[in-house]
Amino acid sequence: MSVVTRTHYINGEWLPAHGTTLIEVDNPVDGSLVGAVPAGDAVDVDRAVAAARSAFAPWSATTMEHRIAVVEALAALLDRDRDTLAAILTSEMGSPITFARQAQVGVAIADLHALVGAARAHQERGSVSNSLVVSEPIGVVAAITPWNFPLHQIALKLGAALLAGCTVVLKPSEVAPLNAVRLAELIAELDLPAGTVNVVFGDGQAGEPLAAHPDVDMVTFTGSRAVGERVAVAAARTITKVALELGGKSAAVILDDAPISDSVTGVLRSCFANAGQTCAALTRVLVPNAMKHEWESAAVAALAGWQLGDPAVEGTAVGPLASHKQQGVVRGFISRAIDDGARLLAGGAQVTEEFEAGAYVLPTIFSDVTPEMAIFREEVFGPVLVITGYDTEAQAIALANDSDYGLSGGVWSNDSERALTVALQLRTGTVGLNGAGLDVGAPFGGYKQSGLGRECGTHGFEEFLEVKSIMGAAAFH
């Protein structure tokens, strides 16, 4: 499958890019060319923002019922094109086709339905004290999205913004932009005023002027902590609201009464799905020293279910990383962990000859990892799990919280009340008990350097609203 465009989707049309440079997109399995998009620049961004600004008045004036109908129609189009979108995602970023169909596209559809539910329940006006409090759309939204779950992240930002009455300029990742090409074609089928949704392709040469644009009212960004800082700095020049969903180095706390088999299965699924390219992945596991050896043995044995394979083949568990660049980053972390004294239990930097041409990394497990090691502290964004032993529950909680990040976490115990007590002490935005996964109706986001704001459901929808108090008008509600 090849997707090539020299245009951006602006003001309801496919308009030629200002420049002539194309960004080529390679299949991470073998490096073959699967598509290309234009390298957008500040001129393209200006055109897209102007279109979104012009469309804001008519779109924000529509009824909530109409916006809900549009977003429900978008969800239906994604479902209709599920196989096509999954195939595009597999070719451009290596996500196994079964996972792409069920999670990459399926979760995007679920996101939109959950946001619709939140919009239906939302009260635009209410009385507080002696005031009428009104929620209003924030305005023009710049959405900058990542390559690991590209469609899911676009759906979260686009769906919430549209339901709130905002208009959008989307800048998808240059690593995985081809799904956004197809998405823009689907958006063209919707009943939207021209300019309501615009898509500008490119790298930082488009992203930076978009984040800094004076006619943008909000920037929502998902990606690395380093780039998130740059986005925040750019937006700060105009005091523009910023929502950031950044990295994580999330801990799974295995309590001494937890079933080993269940906890191993849950942790490995979190860490190795999507080749470890999941911001909320549980990549640090904290295990009581008394059961550490048994847990490690079970984890190594369970790796038999996480074999490398061709992502285009149904049932493949682990495909390549999204790019050879990311493969180099992950291999560097593995080598450094060995140099730092971590004990390699399984995996490593090398793969068999069958997979050498692709951006593959074996699912890797380290033990005897201490807080002084980079592999304990830094986000790898690949299939690498590290194990650290502990003696007391208090020590486990301290180790879990010993991080610059605070995006996710997990607790395993046979006693649900005990698990909850530990979860409440973790300084992180989400915690799964005994393997519970993403809940698209609940708020998702992080503490500390994992970001600002929340996505998903009611909280994600409300990020795109301003609140106005009209004093003395409570009686008008």
pLDDT tens, position by position, 363-373: 999 999 999 99
Q: What is the pLDDT of residues 266-312, one digit of tens each?
A: 999 999 999 999 999 999 999 999 999 999 999 999 999 999 999 99
Domains of the chain are 3-246+451-471 (3.40.605.10), 250-439 (3.40.309.10)
* Residue-level pLDDT at 112: 98
Q: Which two tokens stand for residue 60?
A: 């924000």
Residue 6 has pLDDT above 70, yes or no: yes
The pTM of the full predicted model, rounded to 2 decimals, is 0.96
pLDDT of residue 1: 59
Q: What tokens appear for 317 in the block? A: 């568990």
Residue-level pLDDT at 314: 97
Rounded Cα gap, residues 429 and 406, in angstroms = 6
The predicted pLDDT at position 476 comes to: 80
Query: Checking DSSP bridges between strand 451-452 and strand 241-245, what pairing results, if any?
Result: antiparallel
Phi, psi of 140 (to 5 degrees): -85, 125
Give me the half-sphere count of Cα atoms (radius 13 Å) on the Cβ side of residue 155: 32
Tokens coding 221: 């960004």
Q: How big is the chain by its Cα radius of gyration, in Å?
A: 23
Mean pLDDT of the region 123-131:
94
Percent of the chain with pLDDT over 90: 97
Which DSSP category does 103 fall into? I
pLDDT of residue 161: 98
Q: Which band of pLDDT confidence, cut at 50, 70 and 90, is reported for residue 191?
A: confident
Identify the CA nearest to 320 among candidates 182, 175, 203.
Answer: 175
**What are the Cα distances from residue 454, in Å, to 94, 221, 222?**
28, 11, 11
49-56 average pLDDT score: 98
pLDDT at position 5 over 90: yes
Residue 335 binned pLDDT confidence (cut-offs 50, 70, 90): very high
At 392-436, the pLDDT tens digits run 999 999 999 999 999 999 999 999 999 999 999 999 999 999 999
Q: Residue 156 — very low, low, confident or very high, per pLDDT cuts 50/70/90?
A: very high
Q: How confident is the model at residue 11 (pLDDT cuts 50, 70, 90)?
A: very high
Identify the pLDDT of residue 475: 84
Average pLDDT estimate for 317-338: 97
Q: What is the pLDDT of residue 474?
A: 83
Q: What is the mean pLDDT of residues 384-390?
A: 98
Question: Once rounded to an integer, what is the mean pLDDT over residues 239-252?
Answer: 97
Two tokens, residue 92: 């451009």
Contact 329, 359 (CB under 8 A): no
List, for residues 58-109, the tens digit of each pLDDT value. Answer: 999 999 999 999 999 999 999 999 999 999 999 999 999 999 999 999 999 9
Residue 153 banded pLDDT, cuts 50, 70, 90:
very high
The 10s digit of each residue's pLDDT in 342-352 is 999 999 999 99
Instruction: Give how far the C-alpha of residue 196 lies from the chain's centroid of Cα atoms, to the nearest Å.
Output: 23
Mean pLDDT estimate for the chain? 97
pLDDT > 70 fraction of the chain, expressed in percent and rounded:
100
Determine the Cα–Cα distance for residues 225 and 228; give it in Å rounded to an integer: 5
Q: How confident is the model at residue 2 (pLDDT cuts 50, 70, 90)?
A: confident
Residue 77 tokens, joined:
């189009």
Task: Evaluate if residue 358 carries a pLDDT over 70.
Answer: yes
**Among all residues, which ones are annotated catalytic?**
245
- Separation CA 52–CA 139 (nearest Å): 9
